[in-house]
Amino acid sequence: MDKEKLIDLIKSRGSYLCVGLDTDLDKIPSFLLEKKDPIFEFNKAIIDATKDLCVAYKPNTAFYECYGAEGWASLKKTIEYIGKDHLIIADAKRGDIGNTSTRYAKAFFEDLGADAITVAPYMGEDSVVPFLGYENKWVILLALTSNKGSSDFQNELLNSGESLYQKVIQISCSWASDNELMYVVGATHPEQLGEIRRMVPNHFLLIPGVGAQGGDLVAVSNQSINSECGILVNSSRGIIYADEGEKFAEAARNKAKSMQLTMEEILKANKVI
Give the active site residues: 93
Q: Does 27 bind a copy of itself (CB under 8 A)?
A: no
C-beta separation of 25 from 231 below 8 A: no
Q: Give the per-residue contact string, 219-248, with a copy of itself (x = CB under 8 A; - = no).
A: ------------------------------
- φ, ψ for residue 263 (rounded to 5)? -65, -40
Q: Does 66 bind a copy of itself (CB under 8 A)?
A: yes
SS3 of residue 59 by DSSP: coil
Give the DSSP H/E element, type plus range, for residue 86.
Answer: none
Q: Does 250 bind a copy of itself (CB under 8 A)?
A: no
Contact range with a copy of itself by CB under 8 A, out of 5-13, 60-68, 78-86, 238-246: 60-68
C-beta separation of 136 from 87 below 8 A: no
Burial of 58 (0-12, 13-18, 19+ CB in 10 A): buried
Q: Which is nearer to a copy of itself, 62 or 261 (CB)?
A: 62
- Give the type of residue at 227: S
How far from 63 is each of 60, 70, 81, 92, 242, CA to CA, in Å? 6, 11, 18, 10, 18
Instruction: Find the shortest distance in angstroms from Cβ 38 to a copy of itself.
Output: 16
Q: Does 126 bind a copy of itself (CB under 8 A)?
A: yes
Instruction: Find the shortest distance in angstroms from Cβ 157 to a copy of itself.
Output: 4
Q: Does 70 bind a copy of itself (CB under 8 A)?
A: yes
Give the number of C-alpha atoms closer than 13 A to the C-alpha of residue 243, restricted to the C-beta side.
Answer: 14
Separation between Cα atoms, residue 112 and residue 76, nearest integer Å = 6
Q: Does 207 bind a copy of itself (CB under 8 A)?
A: no
CA-CA-CA-CA dihedral for 56, 214, 139, 143, to nearest 10: 160
- Among positions 33, 157, 261, 269, the unique one binding a copy of itself when judged by CB under 8 A: 157
Nearest to 253 by CA among 55, 49, 51: 49
Let me know how long the chain is: 273
- Among positions 60, 78, 221, 223, the unique one binding a copy of itself when judged by CB under 8 A: 60
Instruction: Find the shortest distance in angstroms from Cβ 12 to a copy of itself.
Output: 31
Q: Does 128 bind a copy of itself (CB under 8 A)?
A: yes
Q: Which is nearer to a copy of itself, 53 or 206 (CB)?
A: 206
C-beta separation of 128 from 98 below 8 A: no
Q: Count of CB atoms within 10 A of residue 34's CB?
A: 8
Q: Which is nearer to a copy of itself, 34 or 152 (CB)?
A: 152
DSSP code at position 123: T
Q: Kindly identify the residues of this chain, within the stretch 87-116, that bind a copy of itself according to CB under 8 A.
A: 91, 93-101, 103-104, 106-107, 110-112
Contact range with a copy of itself by CB under 8 A, out of 5-13, 65-73, 219-227, 248-256: 65-73
Site for a copy of itself, rule CB under 8 A: 22, 24, 60, 62-63, 65-70, 72-73, 76, 91, 93-101, 103-104, 106-107, 110-112, 120-128, 142, 145-154, 156-160, 164, 167-168, 171, 213
